[in-house]
Chain A
């Protein structure tokens, strides 16, 4: 069986083993070598909620053209643990080349093709089992037909800071693995051929968490307060690490309630603040969302979704918290919900979130998910061209009124200490100055004023994007992290009659989208949840109901290849 022959269009490699076995080392090293060799790369992982042990897997895709989504197909499986066979049983086909140590391969029966590799012995010969992962990287390079020399520089970069001896041993380990795979590579017809030398070296390789973090910095974020919660913590860690050079203050709060109240306090004093959390933490922040609504405080909230209810599946993915974001907080007040589909959009929307929050003085919620946080691929370098972070704060005079009734509902926002006025913000219903009132006529005026801001915010709607066939009959509507998956699924289905409409602003829902939807003969809404939350929102906002719903809620993302089969069945 020639597992890798004719895979010029791209190859899918899966690493599977226990947490702590070094899968991440192989992943980082291999993707950096692949990218340095001119290949487009994508990687994503699924993992158990434990620090050591369990069975986790990472998918790495390399292609001549862009590769940006999860697929089920496995071309090469690097099995580091016996449990890999059972864990990935459904994804292994006769075309899968499985490489691993002898006793690991025994767990696979006779599915797939096998390459018995003595990584451990080779590592021991070099002086320690720590080198086994680099040996595996060397073997993978040979299977992919990438010269061993291509690994030299990325390896030096990866182990920078370690001793010369360690770097040298790793170079040897890489070479050893490369030689080890010589025969299997010939037997299996391995090797990729680059078609058209893609120019990927200069492009960025980032993951979802980094894209959101960089976008926040670009949006002028200078304060983050959060309580750690998977899968959102990476954003807190990223900003904490980069914070020093940008004058950004990062504080790990004692709980989510403190975190959100701190963020609102920071905005009050003139900071640009955000929180990052997941569903369970967001649930605790509900009172803060409501406070921001009443105080008309800007607030940027990032929620990386994972399956609930309650603690749910802490390390898995889902789009189950749209309704939580939509209805969190009591009372009636406006908010904006964004859901980036691509990494560059995560950057641009995180940046935009700060300006929207500041301009309209409302909470802006960015919804991502575990799949989005943990996935990375090479993409166009984020640009700061045209960046406009003009602050929407005003220097106050002594007659300043924090909640002045205005035509569009937006009152000039002052901050204490900037100007001669006093800035009074209250969680009670208040008068124009900000002081408690039980004047019920004024209550109606203030409520109307707050709600009016949503009308004004229409000027800044993020319009949905249409991808695929221009003259489409079938339309798949999706939101958030499904952008690349649905896009690739439609491409793989080779249907000239199917397109995708992707929403990056889910609430308020851009009304213009209805024209694109009505053009289709058959429609389906696709989302990672069990009840079709976005479909319900579309009914509510646009009075539209799809013909079909494609829903998945087993904790894993959609796979572009199986979805393409589904498209062909459905339409």
Chain B
């Protein structure tokens, strides 16, 4: 299947020149077409922010909802129609800040969705404030003396909660990113892809050069089923490992745990005989 299937043609894109989102969009289209997913069977769910605009630049079904809330409708969409491929994709502010509570509980719930987080360590849409993943000392118009908070560690949190698929990649490594997205979509259950990305307009510290110098690919010998090892890798602060840190297929997905069955709920018709006998039971 050709990636052109997802092309919107000649449209006005609201991202800044040089934004990492352009490459992410290309890689996503490639990954989805290589997985042979048809646009009509895919739903992209996003919140608010620059990354959250991604569904608008891709030809598919989408639900571009509220700030921080992508994971809640994504969970419900998948549960209501398990035959759809559901990807919740937004930025670090959306997923880890505004949506932090949903991030935690979605991992616990384990819906069969892919969660791609564009992590540029800064708020782009509101023009340059600290995000939950901004490094300490990062100076902004609000954090004038530099960020004093410890950065949020999505990978350690996800592994701590025993998410079944936890990966980090950087758009500076497109090949790895595409491979990881494909693996994440194919994973049965919740899959987190923390996707590092430069923001040339508002993050002058964590730029292309910084990501290249401060990340490394996990070696092929890494065993992703080793949770303790994955956790210690997730906690590394000096150089950031990239790849599938942790993978486990032991837990059933949310849809497998609930009773609604594989049929989409729009085909669910009320059994009036059953309801009638339920009503009669109150007599």
Contacts and interface: CB of A to CB of B under 8 A. Distances in A.
Closest 3 CB pairs of A and B: A265-B73, A270-B266, A265-B76
Given A220-B270, A246-B270, A291-B65, A204 B77 contact: no
Given A262-B76, A384-B275, A436-B53, A422 B60 contact: yes
Interface stretch (A40-48, A210-218, A451-459, A542-550): A210-218
Interface of B: 14, 39-41, 43, 45, 48, 53, 55-56, 59-66, 69, 72-81, 83-84, 101-102, 104-105, 258-261, 263-272, 274-276, 278-280, 282-283
B64 A426 contact: yes
A246 B273 CA distance: 11
Interface in A253-277: 253-255, 257-259, 261-266, 268-273
B102 A268 contact: no
Contacts of A261: 65-66, 69, 72-73, 76
Contacts of A391: 266
A259 B45 CA distance: 16
A206 interface: yes
B76 A271 contact: yes
B268 A247 contact: yes
A389 B282 contact: no
A266 B76 contact: yes
A423 interface: yes
A425 B80 contact: no
A283 B186 CA distance: 38
A247 B260 contact: yes
A223 B142 CA distance: 42
Contact of A270 (B63, B81, B105): B81
A287 B60 CA distance: 25
Given A201-B283, A415-B266, 13 more contacts: A223-B265, A246-B270, A258-B105, A265-B76, A265-B77, A266-B79, A269-B81, A271-B266, A381-B282, A389-B269, A424-B64, A425-B62, A425-B63
Contacts of B62: 422, 424-426, 434
Contacts of A251: 79, 258
B77 A266 contact: yes
A105 B59 CA distance: 76
A254 B105 contact: yes
Contact of B266 (A206, A259, A269): A269
Contacts of B74: 265
Nearest to B281: A204
A417 B83 contact: yes
Contacts of B45: 265
A417 B268 contact: no
Nearest to A389: B270
A289 to B, nearest CB: 11
Contacts of B81: 269-270, 415-417
15 contacts: A222-B265, A242-B278, A247-B260, A253-B72, A257-B69, A257-B72, A259-B72, A266-B76, A266-B77, A269-B78, A269-B264, A270-B80, A382-B279, A417-B61, A424-B62
Given A246-B270, A246-B271, A436-B56, A269 B77 contact: yes
A271 B40 contact: no
A260 B49 CA distance: 21
Contact of B279 (A381, A393, A422): A381
Nearest to B43: A416
A281 to B, nearest CB: 15
A13 interface: no
Interface residues of A, number: 69
A225 interface: yes
A427 interface: yes
Interface string A387-404: 101010100000000000
B275 A218 contact: yes
Contacts of A245: 271, 274, 278
Given A287-B66, A428-B64, A222 B260 contact: yes
B283 A273 contact: no
A249 interface: yes
Contacts of A107: none
Contacts of A225: 76
Nearest to A205: B282
B279 A204 contact: yes
Interface in A425-450: 425-428, 434-436
A253 B75 CA distance: 11
Nearest to B11: A435
A249 B265 contact: yes
- Of A220, A247, A265, A389, the most chain B CB neighbours within 10 A belong to A265
A416 B41 CA distance: 7
A217 B278 contact: yes
- Of B40, B69, B73, B270, the most chain A CB neighbours within 10 A belong to B73
A243 B77 contact: no
Nearest to A382: B279
Nearest to A220: B270
A391 B264 CA distance: 14
